[in-house]
């Protein structure tokens, strides 16, 4: 039996795809892709998006994978600078939303997008006022309500820090964070910890959390209550410029020995069936214009005024912003002192 | 002596390839530039001081609590075997899950109404919860053997105090130092607990290394931190080896737990159980949560949205069993070689416990770029991470072997292999099983290496938990809690089984 099957196995190409920890796609779809193309696909999880990209950069030249998926626009410039990606113009490109195609060298193909946004616990705020402006978060009436992620260890944390830079500017963002610190903001290391231990929905004491604009929809999708509620227990708090626009990319790693298979995989990832399975698997929006959204995405609204920074701005300042943030929020220095040392 | 090195050779080759070479590359990359600034940075210095305080405080705390407990465990009382087996269970639980238990008990809105989040007290409690078993189990195995020499001292006219100070303490010292050094290493280099429970202010060196290396690829800072860490662990080991050398005393015979009258047994049982219930109350809070949603107990096994619980359970058991097959020869060979004279090997054998897994993982990528998800790599990492636990438990037992019996065997003409099978093995078997149990416990809950080296179809229980905790919503949350409780029960049952086989010889 094995001997009969052996030649078929040996002919098959194995494609390795490096992804971040949140990777998830319909297993049946992947199986069909494998069958139709005679390619075996192996997914290698490389940690959080930043860690994953660092691993790809470290193994430059002799890559640990053929394809890398999941680096976003906060990391795009680092990937391009490190020169680990190979250009590829997918025939599917015209079907993708043009505003997502930021890289004009076609080394990174957009797969999905989403927004890092503030979520609130609806029960907690029943009959209480919500903050109206971003700066309201530093007011005494909202003291001790917010939990955020450390931008040094978490990608939503970094995205939220970038939103504050975009909203308050170089001069104002550190003052905002200093006030936030004085107002009792809690900093934790990652998204799961913030959401599952400190957010009031899971038994914590913070009704405001940095999460994603799709989280309320996911709450409803995974709700266990019977009958299923018609509205999610959480909602987005879209303060102007408090949410951050994130695009996730796929790229072919330089040095791959399976170029053809890698290209087919990229095409498939932005094909209609794969794109339509993305929303309820990874809770982001498909990059394809004609992909239908599931019903539950009614609750995953698009923020009216998201903050945006160019990859170049991010590349030039990311390290410094994180360092200054650490000095003010973690080590408790004053914004003034930190700015004076610039 | 020369023979000892031959015995250790395979292990040394394994260590060099799996540990020294990749780690060396990381340190080499950072040497030179930026090294001094990192050492001078007050932030990093404060990390070092706190890590030291945490390591020392934890081992002292564990020893202080374990000693009186071990005396209680000399007696037979209801629940004795259960608590002894359970004491190493927390060791394997994913930190995120334990953190959830802690926070629901003593977090900002905890059941107890005290908020310990972000204080060092919650970290020391967590350390005791995680590490008590590491000190307690070897002590319990050793204490019954103490009574004969103690009685001898008393017969010769020593007062109880004097007998204890002159005979008891020196006999206990190797085990206390040995397990205490393990606790120190685990706390000093700990990652998950300070990251999740300490808030930003109580980061250890390991957390700082992770932030420098995994997030920013800052090699100069990271290698300075790695070297700082190695410097401390190396110094502690050297001290420990020096101290231990003068303390080896032969112990003969063993004793089953002593019987007690019914009333006293119940009294002891109440006291010990009360203490453990208090210590483990964060885990009870977790069980409480898991029972809140009975639906999750059904959906978790076949949920198509995530790794089905059944597959995860199966993988966990298969991988742990495969790794144990490697841990046994490697750990045994190593302990034997050290005992036979290669003392400096002892420190080297502990290296896997004292290096930063983050640094190691990145080192693998640097030196073995072709390294892709292969099951043997995963098993290799498992062996590397858990064999020191077997060696540690086995060594005090080997060093305590009665010389007379061994010499008698030699004089009577038994060849070495025969001496091993007929004389040494039966004497060290209980410690071997205890060590294997510890290694097994570490394997069942292993998380870091599994995450980096895994493929989706290999997801283990700890990964299935982690995967669910990455999505918002009630179903994933409660399923994660259920899987954590399953992991806890699984470890308890397996360890209880091994424990039984140790006592029912």
Q: What is the ipTM for the molecules in this complex?
A: 0.80
User: What Rg, from alpha-carbon coordinates, does chain A have?
Assistant: 21
- Res B249 pLDDT > 60: no
Tell me whether residues B455 and A43 touch, CB distance under 8 A.
yes
Please state the rounded mean pLDDT for residues B84-104: 78
Q: Do residues B249 and B400 touch, judged by C-beta distance below 8 A?
A: yes
Please write the tens of the pLDDT for every residue from B290-315.
Answer: 888 888 888 889 888 888 899 999 99
Dist CA B223 CA B449 (whole Å): 20
| Angle ∠(B97,B448,B283) on CA atoms, nearest 5 | 20
Surface of A (46-85) touching B: CB under 8 A: 46-48, 50-51, 54-55, 57-59, 61-65
Nearest Cα of chain A lies from the Cα of B119 at a distance, in angstroms, of 13
Write the DSSP string, B200-246. GGG--HHHHHHIIIIIT--HHHHHHHHHHHHHHHHHHHHHHHHHHHT
User: Quick one: which of B340, B463, B444 has its CA closest to B389?
Assistant: B444
Chain pair A-B, CB pairs under 8 angstroms: 143
Between A259-269 and A27-37, two packed helices, what is the crossing angle to 10 degrees? 140
Surface of B (450-479) touching A: CB under 8 A: 451-452, 454-456, 466-467, 469-478
Is any Cβ of chain A less than 8 angstroms from the Cβ of B211? yes
Q: Do residues A177 and A87 touch, judged by C-beta distance below 8 A?
A: no
User: Quick one: which of A248, A198, A232, A224 has its CA closest to A301?
Assistant: A232
Q: Do residues B183 and B134 touch, judged by C-beta distance below 8 A?
A: yes
Query: Of B472, B476, B482, which to mutate for an interface test with A (greatest number of A Cβ within 10 Å)?
Result: B472
Please write the tens of the pLDDT for every residue from B353-378.
Answer: 777 777 777 787 778 766 665 677 77
Collapsed DSSP state (helix, strand, coil) of residue A19: strand
Dist CA B334 CA A167 (whole Å): 60
Is any Cβ of chain B less than 8 angstroms from the Cβ of A222? yes
Please write the tens of the pLDDT for every residue from B431-457.
Answer: 788 788 878 878 887 766 666 665 667
Tell me whether residues B455 and A42 touch, CB distance under 8 A.
yes
N-term to C-term CA, chain A: 70
| Angle ∠(A169,A171,A176) on CA atoms, nearest 5 | 80
Please write the tens of the pLDDT for every residue from A52-90.
Answer: 898 899 888 888 899 999 999 999 989 999 999 999 999
pTM: 0.82
Between B21-30 and B357-367, two packed helices, what is the crossing angle to 10 degrees? 90
* Residue reference for tokens 């206390």: B176
User: Quick one: which of B130, B123, B137 has its CA closest to B83?
Assistant: B137
Burial degree of A71 (CB within 10 A; 0-12, 13-18, 19+): buried
User: Quick one: which of B261, B215, B257, B312 has its CA closest to B83?
Assistant: B257
Strand A146-149 relative to strand A244-253, pairing? unpaired
Nearest Cα of chain A lies from the Cα of B216 at a distance, in angstroms, of 8
- Res B2 pLDDT > 70: no
| Element (DSSP H or E) covering residue A112 | strand A109-121
Query: Of B373, B378, B473, B477, which to mutate for an interface test with A (greatest number of A Cβ within 10 Å)?
Result: B473
Dist CA A229 CA B136 (whole Å): 50
Higher pLDDT, A262 or B114: A262
Cis bond upstream, residue B117 (ω within 30): no
User: Quick one: which of A251, A72, A286 has its CA closest to A159?
Assistant: A72
Question: Which residues, in sequence order, are CB contacts of B452 under 8 Å at separation 6+?
Answer: A45, A46, A47, B361
Cα nearest neighbour of B361 on chain A: A55
What is the pLDDT, as a whole number, of residue A5? 44
Question: Which residues from A are below 8 Å from B96, CB to CB?
Answer: 192-193
Please write the tens of the pLDDT for every residue from B337-358.
Answer: 888 776 667 777 777 877 777 7
User: What Rg, from alpha-carbon coordinates, does chain B have?
Assistant: 23
- Res A127 pLDDT > 50: yes
- Res B115 pLDDT > 50: yes
Tell me whether residues B214 and A45 touch, CB distance under 8 A.
no
Other beta carbons less than 10 A from residue A207's beta carbon: 24
Please write the tens of the pLDDT for every residue from A30-44.
Answer: 999 999 999 999 888
Burial degree of A62 (CB within 10 A; 0-12, 13-18, 19+): exposed
Bridge partners (DSSP) of residue A253 are A85
């Amino acid at each position: 039996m094995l001997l009969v099957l052996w030649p078929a196995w040996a002919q098959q190409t194995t494609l390795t795809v490096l992804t971040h920890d949140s990777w998830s796609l319909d297993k049946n779809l992947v199986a069909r892709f494998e069958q139709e193309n005679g390619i075996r696909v192996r997914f290698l999880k490389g940690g959080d998006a930043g860690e994953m990209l660092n691993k790809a950069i470290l193994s430059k030249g002799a890559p640990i994978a053929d394809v890398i998926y999941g680096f976003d626009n906060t990391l795009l410039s680092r990937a391009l600078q490190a020169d680990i990606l190979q250009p590829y113009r997918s025939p599917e490109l015209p079907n993708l939303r043009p505003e997502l195609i930021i890289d004009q060298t076609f080394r990174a193909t957009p797969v999905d997008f989403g927004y890092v946004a503030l979520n609130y616990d609806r029960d907690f705020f029943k009959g209480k006022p919500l903050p109206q402006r971003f700066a309201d978060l530093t007011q005494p009436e909202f003291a001790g309500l917010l939990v955020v992620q450390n931008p040094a260890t978490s990608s939503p944390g970094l995205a939220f820090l970038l939103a504050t830079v975009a909203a308050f500017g170089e001069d104002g963002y550190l003052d905002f964070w200093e006030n936030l610190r004085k107002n009792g903001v809690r900093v934790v290391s990652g998204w799961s910890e913030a959401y599952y231990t400190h957010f009031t929905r899971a038994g914590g004491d913070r009704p405001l959390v940095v999460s994603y604009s799709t989280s309320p929809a996911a709450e409803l999708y995974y709700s266990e209550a019977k009958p299923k509620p018609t509205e999610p227990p959480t909602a987005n708090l879209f303060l102007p410029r408090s949410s951050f626009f994130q695009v996730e990319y796929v790229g072919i790693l330089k040095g791959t020995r399976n170029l053809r298979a890698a290209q087919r995989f990229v095409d498939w990832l932005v094909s209609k069936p794969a794109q339509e399975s993305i929303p309820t698997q990874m809770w982001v929006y498909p990059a394809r214009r004609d992909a239908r959204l599931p019903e539950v995405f009614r609750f995953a609204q698009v923020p009216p005024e998201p903050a945006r920074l160019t990859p170049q701005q991010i590349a030039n300042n990311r390290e410094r912003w994180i360092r200054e943030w650490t000095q003010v929020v973690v080590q408790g220095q004053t914004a003034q002192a930190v700015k004076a040392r610039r | 002596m020369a023979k000892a090195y031959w015995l250790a050779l395979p292990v040394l080759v394994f260590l060099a390839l799996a540990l020294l070479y990749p780690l060396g590359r990381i340190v080499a990359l950072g040497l030179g530039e930026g090294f001094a600034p990192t050492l001078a940075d007050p932030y990093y210095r404060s990390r070092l001081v706190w890590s030291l305080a945490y390591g020392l405080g934890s081992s002292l705390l564990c020893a202080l609590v374990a000693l009186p407990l071990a005396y209680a465990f000399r007696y037979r009382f209801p629940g004795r075997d259960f608590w002894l087996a359970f004491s190493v269970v927390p060791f394997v639980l994913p930190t995120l899950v334990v953190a959830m238990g802690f926070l629901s008990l003593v977090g900002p809105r905890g059941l107890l109404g005290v908020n310990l989040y972000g204080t060092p007290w919650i970290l020391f409690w967590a350390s005791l919860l995680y590490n008590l078993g590491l000190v307690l189990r070897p002590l319990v195995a050793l204490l019954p053997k103490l009574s004969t020499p103690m009685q001898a001292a008393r017969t010769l006219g020593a007062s109880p105090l004097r007998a204890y100070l002159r005979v008891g303490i020196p006999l206990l010292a190797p085990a206390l130092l040995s397990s205490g050094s393990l606790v120190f290493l685990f706390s000093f280099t700990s990652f998950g607990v300070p990251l999740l429970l300490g808030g930003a202010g109580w980061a250890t060196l390991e957390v700082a290394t992770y932030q420098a290396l995994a997030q920013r690829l800052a090699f100069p800072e990271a290698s300075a931190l790695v070297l700082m860490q190695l410097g401390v662990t190396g110094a502690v080991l050297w001290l420990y080896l020096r101290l231990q050398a003068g303390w080896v005393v032969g112990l003969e015979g063993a004793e089953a737990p002593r019987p007690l009258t019914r009333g006293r047994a119940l009294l002891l049982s109440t006291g010990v159980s009360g203490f453990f219930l208090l210590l483990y109350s964060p885990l009870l809070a977790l069980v409480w949560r898991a029972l809140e949603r009975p639906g999750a107990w059904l959906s978790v096994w076949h949920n198509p949205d995530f790794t089905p619980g059944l597959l995860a359970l199966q993988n966990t058991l298969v991988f742990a069993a495969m790794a144990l097959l490697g841990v046994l020869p490697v750990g045994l060979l190593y302990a034997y070689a050290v005992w036979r004279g290669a003392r400096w090997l002892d420190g080297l054998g502990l290296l896997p416990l004292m290096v930063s897994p983050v640094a190691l993982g990145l080192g693998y990528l640097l030196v073995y770029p072709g390294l892709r998800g292969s099951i043997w790599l995963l098993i290799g990492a498992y062996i590397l991470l858990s064999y020191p636990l077997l060696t540690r438990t086995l060594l005090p037992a080997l060093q305590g072997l009665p010389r007379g019996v061994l010499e008698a065997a030699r004089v009577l003409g038994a060849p070495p292999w025969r001496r091993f099978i007929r004389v040494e093995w039966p004497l060290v078997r209980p410690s071997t099983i205890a060590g294997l149990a510890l290694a097994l416990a570490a394997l069942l809950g292993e998380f870091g290496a599994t995450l980096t080296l895994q493929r989706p179809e290999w997801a283990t229980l700890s990964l299935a938990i982690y995967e669910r905790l990455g999505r918002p919503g009630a179903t994933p949350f409660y399923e994660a809690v259920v899987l954590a409780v399953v992991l806890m029960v699984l470890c308890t049952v397996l360890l209880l089984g091994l424990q039984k086989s140790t006592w029912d010889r």
